[in-house]
Amino acid sequence: MSAESQRVIKSAGMRILSDLIGLPFGAGLIGWLIDRWAGTTPWVMLAMLFLGFGLAVRSVLRVANNRPDQGPDTGK
């Protein structure tokens, strides 16, 4: 395995890890703030957590289906 392919694999792994941690955390934090403002604790936070997990899974699937020879995802 070449150094370039190892770099691409490590980069994809770091992106997956950051998405799996960051998206649910960020969405949960936004939901918690909305709950505090609207007084609907904990319903918006729970909905945002589910949304964050769903977005994280979608992002992981996009990274997993992206072939290294295709280049970066262009959104098409």
Helix, strand and coil content of the chain, in percent to the nearest 5, comes to: 80, 0, 20
pLDDT at residue 2 tops 70 = yes
What letter does residue 70 receive in the DSSP assignment?
Answer: G
Q: What is the pLDDT of residues 19-39, one digit of tens each?
A: 999 999 999 999 999 999 999
pTM of the model: 0.79
Whether 21 contacts 31, CB under 8 Å? no
Predicted pLDDT of residue 72: 60
Contacts of 40 (CB under 8 A, 6+ apart): 34
